[in-house]
């Protein structure tokens, strides 16, 4: 019987690793990923179910990590090249909440329309009732065009950068509203990223 596993999304890579027992500390999983990615253990962040996994001493059961799900690995040692300036460190809970809302609005206004357009472009055409004599453009071996591949990569990297910016905004432990706002913002951005990658995999499989 195949062991339970989890997918780790690392930029363009997809790592499939065995899921450790629930009482395993996060530090053990982090060490495993550090060995596979050749990144320092403190050089990346892990995001699962819309939240950053920060406490290395906590067991995996505390994060409700389930088999056959996906977590995101963000290389925090690499600078994020973004046209938007990094937000200033918020001094109040209200300014932190405003920063989270602004980042989500930026994703919805500038990235999500591009994701929607790409998904419409790669969606399989409906099966015609009768044969169409007009030949369709030949797809690449992967089933998508080089231009679509470039756009998928660009959108994916920008969405990952948005996740990094959200995590970089300081939030104090007593700011419960700001912490909830950040969790919701991360879940929103990760949802767009998951929708992009899910449709992309489906398009490549169907073609």
Q: What is the mean pLDDT of each run of 10 residues along the chain (207 residues)?
A: 75 85 91 89 85 88 87 72 52 88 92 90 66 47 74 88 87 91 92 88 75
pLDDT value of position 156: 87
pLDDT value of position 2: 45
Domains parsed from the chain with CATH numbers: 5-75 (3.10.20.90), 93-124+140-206 (1.20.58.120)
pLDDT value of position 76: 74
Query: Taking the complete model, does pTM exceed 0.75, yes or no?
Result: no
Tell how far CA 111 is from the center of its chain: 13
- What the block records as the tokens of 27 is 């530090």
pLDDT value of position 86: 55
pLDDT value of position 188: 94
């Amino acid at each position: 019987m195949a062991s339970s596993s989890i997918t780790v999304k690392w930029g363009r890579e997809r790592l499939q690793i065995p899921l450790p027992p629930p009482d395993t500390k996060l530090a053990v999983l982090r060490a495993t990923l550090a060995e596979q990615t050749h990144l320092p253990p403190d050089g990346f962040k892990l995001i699962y179910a819309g939240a950053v996994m920060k406490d290395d001493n906590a067991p995996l059961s505390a994060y409700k990590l389930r088999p056959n799900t996906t977590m995101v690995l963000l290389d925090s040692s690499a600078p994020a090249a973004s046209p938007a300036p990094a937000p200033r460190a918020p001094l109040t809970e209200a300014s932190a909440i405003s920063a989270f809302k602004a980042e989500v609005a930026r994703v919805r206004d500038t990235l999500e329309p591009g994701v929607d357009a790409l998904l419409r472009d790669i969606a399989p055409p409906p099966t015609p009732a009768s044969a169409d004599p007009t030949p369709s453009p030949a797809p690449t071996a992967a089933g998508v065009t080089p231009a679509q591949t470039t756009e998928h990569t660009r959108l994916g990297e920008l969405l990952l950068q948005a996740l990094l910016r959200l995590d970089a905004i300081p939030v104090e432990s007593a700011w419960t509203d700001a912490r909830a706002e950040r969790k919701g913002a991360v879940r929103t951005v990760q949802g767009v990223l998951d929708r992009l990658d899910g449709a992309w995999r489906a398009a490549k499989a169907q073609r």
